[in-house]
Structure 1
């Protein structure tokens, strides 16, 4: 799992959707959709500005192991 108090959890993942990292994790954990469609649930767009961070977060959600420091680096 992950530290529920990590500072990156409250950061907005993509300005388009306005969702936080914490909300993205919940969405990814509760869907069986492939990444492309699950990403659209989080962002509501097809832009690539947040793709790397969301792709990594999607994979981490699938495997249940979270490296939030890496996500923070990817979000910039």
Structure 2
């Protein structure tokens, strides 16, 4: 662990933490969709498709819930 990471761990949560988490949740959802969404095996094997869809749904919910914290904790 580098010194910046240690300092980040000790500092209070701020708007930057929220916006970074929102950005990363969005990016991960996009990456999963782009990497797996068109894969034939994912589309044709029902339990794999269901798992894929749950992952996308969870990432999108994480994005939305984190956004609620930004609105609540960091109003303009």
TM-score, normalised to structure 2, is 0.27
Please say which structure displays the higher CA radius of gyration: 2
Q: Would you tell me which structure has more helix in proportion to its own residues?
A: 2
TM-score, normalised to structure 1, is 0.27
